[in-house]
Every structure is written in structure tokens, then in C-alpha cells.
Structure 1
Amino acid sequence: MKETHNDHHEHHGHDHEHQHRSKIQFDRNGIPKVLSPKESVHSEDYPDDYSKAVNTYRKTFPNKQRVLAETPDPGVKEMMERMAYLNIDTAFDRFDAQQPQCIFGLGGTCCKNCNMGPCRITKKSPRGVCGADADLIVARNLLRSAAAGAAQHGMHAREVILMLKWAAQGKMDIAIDGEHKIRTMAKAFGIQTAHRQLKHITIDLADRLLKDLSQTEPDDYATISACAPKERQQIWKEMDILPISAYHEVFEAYHKSGCAIDSDWESIMRQFLRCGLVFTFSGVLGAAIATDALLGIGDRATAKTNIGALKEGYVNIAVHGHLPVLVREIVKTGYSEKYQKLAREKGAKGIQFYGICCSSLAAMYRYSGVIPLSNAISAELVLGTGALDLWVADVQEIYPAIMDVARCYQTTVVTTSDSNRLPGAEHIGYDHHHSNIDETGQIAERIVERAIESFEKRRHIPVFIPPYEIEAEVGFSVEYIQKIHGGLEKMAEALRSGEILGIVNLVGCNNPKVVYEKAIVDVAEVLLKHNVLIITNGCASFPLMKLGFCQTTELAYGRVGASLRAFLEPDNLPPVWHVGECIDNARSSAFFAGIAGEFDRAIHEMPYAFTSPEWSNEKGLDASLGFRLMGVNTYHCVEAPIHGSEKVIRFLKEDTRSTLGAVMVVDADPVALGEKMVADLQSKRKALGW
């Protein structure tokens, strides 16, 4: 049922607008006096608020019809039209129904942190009940978002680090495939490796990563000490933002931002930066180290992608979310001869795996036969094909609305983590205390068996698969480039000579505030035309895979400037290098650091940029912050909720130039954003004398 939701804040709460607010003044002796109603100051005497800026920004939001007209993937268009024909809501319908979105929410000036509110800042009420002004409220809200993002990726890190440790201890019967990564990182962390068994080295490495997550007493943050550039560590120390642990900084973030605690917006923003560091070094890097240690780094591979890659007549299983360990076991089980044979006995052609979001991206270059289909926001469109028998939901980026579409098509949905439950889904997974971690193999078998049962019951369900399928080259890493080039010197020289103008990490989730996937594609086309090499991962990588940017064909090379093409073609390299899931921002950072090291330069001096054109969630806020902390400018088509505070706007968008050497740039026009990025990369080159 579709219903228009009016903006609550804009239409309510102004019954007393005729009343005047008294303003304290002082007599000649400094004694406060209260003005009479006749003398009191009218709301018009307060400075203009930010409503004009927010309203201008709101006008850039596309409606569903514009998305249908402009979104670049024809498979998405076709499925959106089919869902509309069947009267099934999608995220695009619900976004339209939310308009106009709350002006106070968009500006960041709505506070619900205590039960005296909610309070919102207006000209007539410039402070909340507790006395918090717009700067403090916006900063508190931003901090809480950063803390949530740090907790989300931190939870991901905790799970995979624990599983690495338990695998080494023998508590989990799963293989450890990343011996080289374990030994390399153990050396970086100062862990003794000589004359020791791999399992003991692994346990020590896992414990070191877990300590960074959870230590309560101030001590060395090992991942920062071992992996961050010394130049950055000194800057963070001088700024007093070095963290104690991920748990501590998230705890402190919610503590400081509560009612009547920390009232200094600058202190709040300092904690915001600490959350960015723990997100980066535990939530991203810690998770990436543990994942590569447990599952192996993987290698370059060719993957089929897009919705047309769905196969009718198979037991079709989609994996969705962010935790890759159980996914490996499910895929291994499903592709075993035992279960392929069972599927054929039940009338299927076999078992096939697909991926939504990061679960697929972690798997596609490590195991053959996992087909990435879509990012999180279009998951409903994939379900709407009717082709999927079972949907495995682990954690994160799993919208509650998928259950409505799954019910329409009788697709069985299984959750595997106690952190993520969906009403109406079955739960076959780990419990809250991980008391059944030794049952990983049995859990995987039960999930595959449930998929076969679902296939048998769903044979009457009509299937509609738009005919759009393509291949993409995936699985790039520093290790792969070192293997084919013998090191990073060739890339470094191409960057210095201008053959490569700059390197940009293009990532992030999707947001209906811009035309779905178009902002990503538009930015990519501008960059490639100007000979900028693109590295990608996570949800933003899907349109780049689906539309041919990750190929080594004319479809890809035809978009690229002459000098970049000359660098790529001899080694059969695509213009967009897909490095994996969103925690694989660590791979992008490794390229940045490695090439900068070839010149003995700091990362912030190099012609690098980070862009998440369509970012939408708390982790996206942290991801861009992580790169700014490293000195890399970040570029976006979607604003953070900061319009209500000029001080916070300046802090994020300009003031960090002098402290971190990097700024945040926002432009709702993706082509203009891409051109700004190119201009800034050229300025970096000029400063280097290139």
C-alpha cells in the first residue's frame, strides 16, 4: 500500500510562533535583567536559518520516473517496470512516498538524545531544552552516525577475527588458506614466526587484532603502529585523536554525545575523528587481514554478472551480506558432488550460487561459480525475477523489505547470524554465544538441503529474467600487480610520467537521492576520459561490472584516454580494477601507500582521491572519513546531514585541509564532481613538479 508521508517537523510544532522569546540583557552593573514582552526580541532578529540551502538540495532528488528514464542498467529498468506492473513496492517507490523529507533531519538539527525532546533548531528556538545549539546538535548526530558505522564494521571484524582464532585452535573445523598473509602480517606486528607452528602464529595475530578492538586501558593500538604511515601517526598524536580501542571509542562516542555531558562541538568532532580511525584500522584493516588470513587473498578471475546471469531450472541460492566465512562453507557444500547429485535427483539441473552486496564480492574471486548480481538497494528487483529458491542473509545491507518480495515468490529466506533477524525468515546459523561454532559444516548442509526443498515446492512460480549478462575481470590486488610487473615500479613510473593522471578509489553504497547507479557511472566516465585509473569495491562496483568498465574489450577501452589505454592494454588490464568487498578498501590503501613509497612521498602529497558518489549509510560516512584521515580528498554527490551548522560544515569541508591535508567535496552533479576531481589531481601533480 502506497501512502504519502508529510514532513512531520515542517507541519507541526509551530503553534506558539506568535509568542516572543525573552532574551537576557545586562544592566550597567552586569546584573541580568529580563526584558518585558514589549521589549523582547522577535524571531526575525535571529540570523537566517539553513532552510533555503536544504530546500535547494532537496530539489536535486530524483523521483522514480526520472530514475526509470536515466538509470544506466537496462536490466534495472526492466525489473523496475515489472515490479510496478505487479504493484510491488521497491525502495524507489518508498523514497517517493517519503517526500518532502524532513528539513531538520536533512540539516542534522533534530535531537532525540533525551526525553525532554525531540528538539529542533529554528530561528525562534535556537537552542534545545538542555541549551544545545545547532553546532552541538549537528556534531552529536554526526558522531553517533560515525560510532554506529564503527560498530557495524567492527562487528564484522570481530566475527572473522574470532573465526580465524578458533580455526587455529581447532574449535572450528574450517581450513586456513592464507599462510602467506599470516606470516607477512605477523612480521609487521612484531610477532615471532621462526621455529613456530602456523597455528600459534595465527592465534597471536588474532589476539593482537582483538586487543585493538576491545582493550580498556590505554595502550599501543597495534594495527595503527604496525600499518599506518609514521607521518600520519605523528599528526594524529598532535591532534590528540589516537584511539584506545574500537569498543572504547564507540562507548565514549555515545557517552559524550548524550544529554548534559560534553557540550563542546569541537570536542565532539575530535571524538568523530577517533571513530574514523577505529573504523579504518579495526573495522576495515583488521577485518581485511583476518579475512585474507583465513580465506586467502584470491587472484584475478573472470566473473559473470548482472541479472541475466540467473539460470532457470537450477536450485538457485543467493548469499547476501558481509560475513564471508559461512558463505565459503555453504558454497563448498553446494558445489560438492553429493549435493549436486541430490539436486539433480529432485529435478534440478544442479545448484548455482549468486551474490548480493559484499558476500558475493568476497567469494567471486576466491571460488569459481559465484555470480554477483546486484548491490543492496536493488536486491528486491533480483527477488522479483522469481528465480531464487533460497536467500541466505548474514549481516548488513539487508533491507527489511526483501521479506515482502520473498513472500510474493515463495522464496525461502534463511538468516545465519543472531545480529540480523528478519521477521518471517528461518534461522539456520550461529547462536548469540557462538556455542555451535563447531557445527559449521552441518549448518552449511542444512542450508543447502533447505534450498533443494524450496526448489521442489516452487516449480509452479513464474520466472522472469531480463536478458542482460556480461563478464567482468575481478580480484585485483597489490600482490597480483607485483606478480605481473615484478613490483609497483612500473605503475609508479606511469603515474609520474602522466601516462596515469591519478588514481581514484571509487566505492560506496547507493542512495535514491541521486539517479540509481548513474552518479557512479558518470563520475567513472569523466575520470577515465582524463586517464585516471579507477580502483573499486563494494556496492559501487556493481554498475561498473555490469556496464563493462571491468573488461579488457573495446567496450571498456573505448571510454579511456589514450595514455591510460597505452598503459593498460599490453598487460591486458581493465581500466577499473575490482579489488573486492567494502573492507577491501584496505587493498586500495595498499596501492596508495605502496606507490607513494616508491617516491618516498606521503600519501597526502600524491595525485589520489576517494569518491563515494551515492553513499547512504553510517559506514559510508566512516569510509570517506578514513581516507581523509590519511590525507586523501573525498568527493560525493550526497550531502551529510550538516546543513544546520556552519562550523561543522567548515570543519568537514575545509578546515581539515590544514590539519589532515584533505577536504570533503560535495556536488550533486556527478559530471561536475568528476571534473573537480580531475582538476584537483592536476593540482597535486603540479605541486610535485610532474
Structure 2
Amino acid sequence: MLNIRSIDPAALDLAKKADKDGIETVWDRYEKQQPQCGFGSLGLCCRHCIQGPCRIDPFGKGPEKGICGATADVIVARNLLRQVAAGAAAHVDHAYEAVEALKLAAEGKIDYPIADINKLKAIATGLGIETESKEPNVLALEVVQVAYEDMGNHQKRPMRWVSAHAPKQRLEVWESLGILPRNPDREIREAMHQTTMGMDADPVNLVLATAKQGLVDGYGGLKLATDMQDILFGTPAPVVTEANLGVLKEDYVNLIVHGHVPLLSEKIVQWAKTLSPEAEAVGAKGVQVAGICCSGNEVLMRQGVPLATNYLAQELAIVTGAVDTMVVDVQCIMPSLGQIASCYHTELITTMPIVKIPGATHIPFTLEHADEAAQEIVRKAIAAYARRDPNKVHIPDYRAKIMAGFSVEAIVGALSKLDADQPLKPLVDNIVNGNIVGVVATVGCNNVKVAQDIFHVEMVKELLKNNVLVVATGCSAHALAKAGMMNSEGAEKYAGESLKVVLTAIGEAAGLGAPLPPVLHMGSCVDNSRIGDLVTALAGYLGVDTAALPVAASAPEPQHEKALSIGTWAVTMGFTTHLGVVPPVLGSKQVTELLTAGLTDVIGGKFYVETDPQTAAHGLIEDICKKRKALGLDQ
């Protein structure tokens, strides 16, 4: 049965083939789950002890408390804290692996050369480490030592990655609230303890603990991972490629990297080029690597590898019949991929000890043997190409040009063409004079409850039309790339007149001969820290709190716990943070009011839930305009 809801023409095309081939997709499974549990959707069920599960009647006619006495407010707050802690744990685990990789690289124990000495020095300087006359490997080990000390901090002092990189005004706010994280593992452990049976029953205290988990994610996960990866693999600079499933090629070996950690995918890209002659020997023209989710974003930003698709259409990539191998690492990987791959010639390869899927081939990835694993994976893809059935191949002819690689360093570099001494000044001046009304960061996932990509695309169209600059990461970046919003033509088509003038001026000054894209691709999920760094730099330049800036955030189609932890971090930064899918908190009036209003007075930011794209866009614009007025920009 054809149940797909998507605005991506490639996905709609392939859904018909999936239906014909008898393939069950995520949309089919969603329909089979209807109606979904109303208690769970409201956050009113608790399974934290084995006396339950307990659930509260939202209409007040049934149980008002759980067996232990927990109210709806307590249950909802505890569930939210656990979800945000889980999201933070995913990013902290990612960051730890990147720190470990830099250590082994600096010690010469693995074949990962340090690619960006300037970024290494900048991070070291920010941490208060002397850089003069030090060899890169020595300096890298000192940076690693600080990171490891943060991971094992047993003192009351906050993490140095927080105190060194966070806006000073924000640090004062967080300290006054008692939410400065000391050590990410300790804080995540404490959150799990705090939410067990017989523990915290104060919804306000639980929501503040949730805010602390946002900071754990923002600095112990996002910021730490991005910094380590830039040092190892290079800080991204603008690259041009294409996005959508049409990037797959019938006459090439198609190898898709999917997941979030670039430690292996960088090696796969390297060996795909090296082993191209072996692909040619079996009749292919070479090896085409394409990306799904944030592993795709990582190798796009640094290597120019095309994007295949985002989260919801990962199954449809295999349905093309042209994917020879899909290799996955961690996060956002559907367990259904193994069964779907078995219907085609595609070899699904898992690589991490915490991600195994029945039916998949497991090739263990270790830093010490990364080259061997990458070679084996590429050779399996080449072997699979020989088994491809041409009668099952259907590649939709949809792809869009994309310009990516907008790290903070790349943005500042482009702006320096206009003002070498004060590169942030042209951006600030254009915000002050209203050419740019404000900035919105769109982040996060697809959610099967929403037609794929529609919220990302329709909301951003409205923001751009109203001269709001948009920056994007993660699956949101995929959606907007596929929709043609990440190229110069997109500026002509979607940007309001004054925004278009600014994008044209910067693009011409940077030597593009065309406008910058109206949506700047800033990277993967962990690269949300780049947005934080840019906002921190702007606040520092102006001498104001980040909460005062005409900046907002949005997760138009959140589905993962990581989206909630990223959103919570954005709120702690003082931003109004939009969610386009209602999170499971509406069962508690107190928690809902805290998240959407009450926190503003103490932390500066708030969540804003709106399920209509145009209404959401205008709500964010209204919020930005209030901040402009408070700064005296609009009188």
C-alpha cells in the first residue's frame, strides 16, 4: 500500500518502486502503528520502576498519580530529562571517540595526520595553552589532556570546554542557576539517578537539570566533537556538489556512507579513489561515494562528496537497486535496512560494536585498523556491483546543485573580503540597518508524522522572503539542499530584496561571481556548535548577551532525542527555539509553561511549538523583531 508523505520528488518516485517491489517502508510501519498511544504522546506514562507501568488520565477522571505518588508534572519532567540526557550521551560518546582519535594520531599510532594546525592553535589558545614553538603533535596532546580532564573532572569547577568557549554573560547566568556542567559523564549519570524511582519530585528542579544536559550536549558533545574533527580532518571551506538520490550513477559502483562519525567515512572516501582501478576492472567507471544523514554532511563539507538523502528516505536509497554497499556507523540507522537490502544485491555493512543489525555484514572498525576496514568495505562494494541486477535499477533523475562548507572560519573569510580589519562588521552593519532582519538556524531531523521535508522547506521560504538569513545543519540541511536553497540561484529565487543585495555583495567580493546561497550549510548535527561559535563571536563583537541578539533556532521535524538535547542547548544560549512536532510534554501544564514561557525570565530562551510552517516562520520573525526593538534597532 502506497502511504508515503513527502515533498521530495525522488522519494515519491521511489516509493512507487518500493510498493511494486513489495518493500515495507517507514511510512507503511507508521500507518500500522495508528492510533498511537495518547498517554505516551502526552508524556504521561512512566516505566521507571517495575511497579508500573503507570499512566495519568489527562482528563482527570482516572489516576492522578503513579503508584509511587508521582504526579503528571513529575512524570513528564522526568521523562523529558531522560530523553535529553540520552541525546547528550549520543553526542558525548561521539566526541570522546574524536578525542581518542586525536590522541592516537598525535602519538603516531594511527594513520590520521593532523590536517589543520591553525585550528589546533586556536583551540589551544582558547584553553589557555601556550602555543609558541611547540610541535603540532605536542600541542595536540596538551589539548587532548584538557579534554580528558573534562571527561574525568572530579572537582566542582565547570568543564574547561565550557568556561573557555561560552559567552561570558551566559556563564554568569548558568552559574547563578547551578547548571554549569562539571564532567559530561558525571552529569548524564546524575540525570539517570535523579529520575529513578524515589528521587526528584520537583518539576522546576527537573527542568533546570534538563537545561544542564543541554549544556553537556552543547559543549561536551557538539563543540568538543567539531573541534577535534576540524583539527584532524580540516576546517571546512566552500565546496560545490549535488544533493538528492539522482547523484547515484548506473555505471559506477555506488557506496553510501550513513551515520554520524567521520572517522571511518573519511577513510572510505580516500580508498574509494585509490581502488577505482579495481572498479574499472569489473566494468564500472569508478566508485561513487554518496552520503546519508550526518556522515554524509561530514564528507560533503570536507571532501565535496554528494548528499544522497536524509533520514526518512534512507530505505529508498536501497530501493533504487543501484546501491552496491551501504556502510553505517552510529545513530539514526533504521533496523529495517538489513531486511530491505536482502531484497536487492546491496550489502549492508555495520562497523561499530554498539550497532549490529541482523542480516548485515559486520566489519569491525578500530582506529588502528581503519585503512584495512575501509579497503575491505570498498572492495565489497566493487564485488557487489558485479551482482547488480539492471532490471531492478531505477535512479530518479532529481538532484540540485549545492554549495556547502560554511564553517565559521569560511564565513569570516568571506566577510573579510569586505572588511579585512573587522570582518564581522559587514554582517553586523547589515543586521543593524535591517537588510538582514535576523538569523534563524534550522537543525534536526525528518519525522514520519510530517510530510518529508515540507516543514523545513516551507518555513524557510517564508523566512527568506522576509529577509531572514538562514543557516542549517543535519537533515534540515539535506532538505534545503534538495529544494535548491543552497546555491546562488536559490538566492535569486527565494531571498527578499535586501537580503539578496547582501548575499550578492559578499558573493562578488569572495570571487564567486554570484550571490552566496540564502541558506548556509554549516555541517552535521554536532556542527551546531559552529552556529554557537558564530553567535558567540557576534555577541562578543557587540558586547551583548547572546540572548539579546536577533537570532532564533528551529527544529522543524524533530524525531531523535538528540534534537531535544540540541534544542535545550539553544534555549540555554538564550534563543527562542521552535519545534515543529509537539514533544511529549503536553500532559503537564506546569512543564509546558516552564518550557515555553517560565524559563525565559531566568535563562533567556524558550521553546516555541508551532505545527504550521508559515505561522512558525512569522512567530520567529516576531520574536526577532522584539529583540531588534530591545536593542534599539527598530524605533
Which of 91-100 and 436-445 deviates more?
Answer: 436-445
Q: Within 5 Å, which residues of 2 pair with 1:345-424? A: 345-368=281-304, 370-424=305-359
1:631 paired to 2:561: no
Among 612, 632, 635, the alignment partner of 1:689 is: 632
Partner residue of 2:193 out of 255, 262, 272:
255
- 1:131 matched residue in structure 2: 69
The match for 1:191 is: 129
- How far 1:375 sits from its partner (Å)? 0.9
Distance 1:459 1:93, change over 3 A: closer
Provide the rounded CA distance (Å) in 2 between the counterparts of 1:301 and 1:288. Answer: 18
Q: Which residue of 1 aligns with 2:213?
A: 275
Within-5 A mapping of 1:570-589: 570=505, 571=507, 572-589=515-532
1:461: Cα distance to partner?
A: 5.7
| More moved, 182-191 vs 86-95 | 86-95
Would you say 1:525 and 2:461 are equivalent positions? yes
Equivalent runs, 1:550-569 vs 2, <5 Å:
550-553=486-489, 555-569=490-504
Hey, what does 2:259 align to over in structure 1? 321
Matches of 1:120 and 1:214, distance apart in 2: 38
Rounded Cα–Cα distance in structure 2 between residues aligned with 1:416 and 1:429: 5
Contact 1:112 1:119 in 2 (8 A): yes
Q: Is the 8 A contact 1:354 1:360 kept in 2?
A: yes
Equivalent positions of 1:136-535 (< 5 A) are 136-336=74-274, 339-368=275-304, 370-430=305-365, 436-459=366-389, 462-486=392-416, 487-535=423-471
Which residue of structure 1 lines up, in the alignment, with residue 420 of structure 2? none
CA contact (8 A) 1:315 1:351 kept: yes
Residues 387 and 463 in structure 1, CA contact (< 8 A), matched pair in contact too: yes
SS at match of 1:290: helix
Residue deviations 1:167-216 (CA, integer Å, cap 9, x gap): 00112121110211110000000112122211111011122123323333
Question: 8 Å contact 1:481–1:488 — kept in the other structure?
Answer: no
* Amino acid aligned to 2:457: V
Give me the whole-angstrom Cα distance separating, in 1, the residues matched to 2:455 and 2:564.
17
Once residues 496 and 472 of structure 2 are traced to their aligned partners in structure 1, the CA distance between those partners, rounded to angstroms, is: 19
Q: Secondary structure at the match of 2:307?
A: strand
Q: TM-score, normalised by structure 1?
A: 0.87
Q: Which residue pairs with 1:92 in the alignment?
A: 27
Counterpart AA for 1:170: G
The aligned residue for residue 53 of structure 1 is none
Q: Partners of 2:64 and 2:284 in 1: how far apart?
A: 65
Rounded to whole Å, the distance in 2 between the matches of 1:365 and 1:232 is 30
Q: Distance in 1 between matches of 2:7 and 2:473?
A: 19
- Give the whole-Å Cα distance in 1 for the aligned partners of 2:7 and 2:370: 40
Q: Counterpart of 1:639 in 2: which secondary structure? A: coil
Structure 2: how far apart are the matches of 1:653 and 1:245?
28
Residues in 1 aligned to 2:217 and 2:624: alpha-carbon distance in whole angstroms: 26
Give distance in 2, aligned partners of 1:569 and 1:97.
49
Q: How big is the shift at 1:592?
A: 1.4
Cα distance in 1 between the residues matched to 2:360 and 2:152: 32
Paired AA for residue 455 in structure 1 = Y
Structure 2 segments unaligned to the other structure (5+ residues): 417-422, 508-514
For the 8 Å contact 2:491–2:500, the answer to whether it is kept is no
- Could you tell me which of 558, 568, 574 is aligned with 1:615? 558
* Inter-partner Cα distance in structure 1 for 2:34 and 2:152: 41
Cα distance in structure 1, aligned partners of 2:85 and 2:477: 25
SS in 1 for 2:472: strand
- The answer (yes or no) to whether the contact 1:167–1:175 under 8 Å persists in 2 is yes
Contact 1:548 1:556 in 2 (8 A): no
- 3-state SS, counterpart of residue 255 of structure 1: helix
Deviation at 1:131? 1.0
Contact 2:464 2:496 in 1 (8 A): yes
Deviation, 1:129, is: 1.0
Range moving further from structure 2, 209-218 or 100-109: 209-218
Distance 1:148 1:356 in 2: 22
Q: Distance in 2 between matches of 1:644 and 1:252?
A: 25
Distance 1:485 1:376 in 2: 33
Q: Counterpart of 1:372 in structure 2: which amino acid? A: L
2:7 is matched with which residue: 66, 69, 72? 72
- C-alpha root-mean-square deviation of aligned residues, in Å? 1.4
Q: Secondary structure at the match of 1:400?
A: coil
Distance between the aligned counterparts of 1:82 and 1:346, measured in 2?
27
Cross-structure match for 1:541? 477
Q: CA deviation at 1:266?
A: 2.3
What is the CA–CA distance in structure 2 between the aligned matches of 1:422 and 1:443, rounded to whole Å? 18
Question: Structure 1: which amino acid aligns with 2:628?
Answer: R
Distance 1:509 1:210 in 2: 30
Identify the residue that residue 642 of structure 1 maps to in structure 2: 585
Tell me, yes or no, if the aligned pair for 2:321 and 2:388 is still in contact at 8 Å.
Answer: no
Question: Contact 1:416–1:429 (CA<8 Å) still a contact in 2?
Answer: yes
Residue by residue over 1:9-56, the C-alpha shift from the partner in whole angstroms, topping out at 9 and shown as x without a partner, is xxxxxxxxxxxxxxxxxxxxxxxxxxxxxxxxxxxxxxxxxxxxxxxx
| Identity among equivalent pairs (%) | 36
Q: CA deviation at 1:134?
A: 0.7
Question: By how many angstroms is 1:113 displaced?
Answer: 0.8
Contact 1:409 1:461 in 2 (8 A): no
Are 1:667 and 2:610 matched, yes or no?
yes
Q: Please state whether the residue corresponding to 1:373 is helix, strand or coil.
A: strand
- Per-residue deviation, 1:414: 1.0
Note if contact 1:579-1:588 (Cα within 8 Å) is conserved in structure 2: yes
Amino acid aligned to 1:90: T
Give the AA of the match of 2:332.
E
SS in 2 for 1:320: strand
Aligned partners of 1:360 and 1:371 also within 8 Å: yes
| TM-score, reference length from structure 2 | 0.95
How far does residue 311 in structure 1 lie from its aligned partner after superposition? 0.3
Q: Deviation of residue 604 (structure 1)?
A: 0.8
Q: Render the CA deviation track for 1:384-437: whole Å, top value 9, x for unaligned.
A: 10111111101111011111211111210111111211111111123xxxxx53
